[in-house]
Amino acid sequence: MVNVNISYADPVDGKVPDGPPSTAWARRRDQYKLVSPLNRRKFKVIVVGTGLAGAGCAAALGELGYQVSAYTIHDAARRAHSVAAQGGINAARARKVDNDSIHRFVKDTVKGGDFRGREADVFRLAEESVRVIDHMNAIGAPFAREYGGQLTTRSFGGVQVSRTYYTRGQTGQQLQVSASRSFQRQVAAGTVTLHTHEEMLDLIIKDGRARGIVTRNLKTGEVRAETAHAVVLATGGYGNVFHRSTLAKNSNVTAAWRAVRRGAYFASPSYIQFHPTALPISHKWQSKTTLMSESLRNDGRIWVPKLASDDRPANAIPEDERDYYLERKYPAFANLTPRDIASRAAREQIESGHGVGPLKNSVYLDFRDAKERLGVKVLDERYGNLFEMYRDATGEDPHEVPMRIAPGAHFAMGGLWTDYDQMSNIPGLFVGGEAGWGYHGANRLGANSLLSACVDGWFTLPYSVPNYLAQHLGETLLEPTDPAVQGVLKDVSERVNRLMKIGGKTPADRIHAELGEILYEGCGVSRSEAKLTAAIEKIRALREIFYTDLFIPGNPQSFNQELERAGRLEDYLQMAELMCIDALDRKESAGAHFREEYQTEEGEAARNDEDWCFVSIWEEGADGAHIRHAEPLDFKDITLETRNYK
């Protein structure tokens, strides 16, 4: 049996205002301290990441008059990974007369997350969703419209109303372009200073507070420090720990994990979403998977042949020999079941021998009926660029043959733990977007990711960060010569040199690919004690290979992508073990965390509210110890219930 060193600490207070969660945000805003306009320019805030959360936060704080220093690993702010989101952004604006409401939005989100998120946070998400759509529309996002000019919507998984606003299949890209324009406006105005090609490698802490960061210039290799009164991390999720994921290859966990190494708590690391409509792996050398928007499930029907190992082309299989398994198992929601359920159902079909395609590793997403009902023109208006992507990736035309899809590692519901004010346990360190853990619980509903990033960036952090700054008026920035700054600079340089000196023969990407295989098998769509303990043992062995046989060519004082990959992989190897430990520790099934030992007779997730209705919050201790705190979850407006989409 593998040795897992876990100790259990006192509960953590999420600092949710007392009283009804439905009014918590309004009451909390009224309690926040303010900074007067003449004092704002005396404060500097570092924002790491320029996606929707980071760009929104930097632009809003810059507009208010604060000094903002923004960092991105990309050559331009607009290239952040928010561009990759396709299908839409949710909002409880209730313009469809389909009985939607803020309360219904909250219930869908809390229930969709299997009651493992903070209820008051979700009320804030729903309340601010209305302002987000109006704001993004005002700054130029080209949302789809009805004939009369009103913004139109469509449905997404886990809901029975139409609340998703969209721009064909490129919603993230269009929102990111609009946010980047507002961000660049502040750069031009001089309130925001943009640093491109800079990767955060460590966090500067003095007197227990976040006071700055250390970065490495990816073009020159220069390592330098910048200090500030507060730091905001909006650096995205960690799905690339699986190597093959729907994320861009540059997406990584390093900024967040460096904060963990400095004492920040990490919440629910094992809560990883597998997107049910990714493209299947077609070759072992494939470096990533490709996302097909969940919006396709509005009009596409998912099925497999009833006969196992059926080799006939899809169009040759008669209707009565097709199993529309989601429609059969979950008739109330059918093809729009939540992502965790749809992914598990697809995995069941594939593993039982009903998979399709050359490698038998996918299921069909078929637009035949929609084509007959709506016509090609309407389908192309709704999904044209997605169909083009599919044709480019596979050489097949989804107008003529069904798409082939399969679950792929996608979104991280876990992340740096924050309280209700989105501040971590380290004072002065704030978190936004997918880098944090908020809102989604154990499973994210589709189209809530763009929303949560926008709510964090535009309408939460611009309130809560000034509340913190107001308590530090007159405080000077740390000097570059301060021992706290010099100590972190030394640590970063020593880490870089240590990696360069390993001098082995195995490149980082090969080790990363093996890590991905371990995680897909051991901590993937389904988990078990045996799988998880085996994965932990393999990860530890792989980490030994990393530290003894890693190969990095070139030198650290120049452009060196192999060094970048190695540093990010070291962080992945550490957090991968924590993911498996978290999954092993949580003895229940909830949302995307599906333990095979804890399921109902019908094969659904068996939640244990009596023992596990809390957020697991991890602290990295000395000598490899893992310390687990807990934040109890209390549901006042949304009654705890067993999820049922039948």
**How many CB atoms within 10 Å of residue 458?**
25
Q: What is the sign, positive or negative, of the torsion defined by CA atoms of 615, 455, 289, 239? A: negative
Q: Supply angle C-alpha 321, 322, 323, rounded to 5.
A: 125
**How many CB atoms within 10 Å of residue 22?**
18
Contacts of 502 (CB under 8 A, 6+ apart): 547, 548, 549, 550, 551, 552
Contacts of 427 (CB under 8 A, 6+ apart): 208, 209, 210, 468
What's the 3-state SS for 554-605? CCCCCCCHHHHHHHHHHHHHHHHHHHHHHHHHCCCCECCECECCCECCCCCE
Q: Are 578 and 619 contacting, i.e. CB atoms less than 8 angstroms apart?
A: no
Contacts of 407 (CB under 8 A, 6+ apart): 274, 275, 276, 278, 343, 346, 347, 525
Q: Copy the structure tokens of residue 619.
A: 């602290």
Q: Which H or E run contains 418? A: none
SS3 283: coil
Amino acid at 645: Y
Q: Backbone dihedral region of 375: left (phi > 0), alpha (psi from -120 to 50 degrees) or beta? A: left
Q: Are strands 164-165 and 415-416 parallel, antiparallel or unpaired?
A: unpaired
Question: How far is 362 from 280, CA to CA, in rounded Å?
Answer: 6
Q: Are strands 266-267 and 415-416 parallel, antiparallel or unpaired?
A: antiparallel
State the maximum Cα–Cα separation within the chain, in Å, rounded to a whole number: 75
**How many CB atoms within 10 Å of residue 29?**
15
Question: How far is 23 from 33, CA to CA, in rounded Å?
Answer: 18
Task: Kindly name the residue from 154, 216, 297, 339 that is annotated as catalytic.
Answer: 339
Question: How far is 417 from 223, CA to CA, in rounded Å?
Answer: 28
Q: Supply angle C-alpha 323, 302, 524, rounded to 5.
A: 100
510 given a catalytic annotation: no
Q: Are 251 and 237 contacting, i.e. CB atoms less than 8 angstroms apart?
A: yes
Amino acid at 371: K
Question: How far is 432 from 61, CA to CA, in rounded Å?
Answer: 14
Q: Are 485 and 237 contacting, i.e. CB atoms less than 8 angstroms apart?
A: no
Question: How far is 627 from 323, CA to CA, in rounded Å?
Answer: 46
Question: How far is 272 from 264, CA to CA, in rounded Å?
Answer: 20
Annotated catalytic sites, by residue?
339
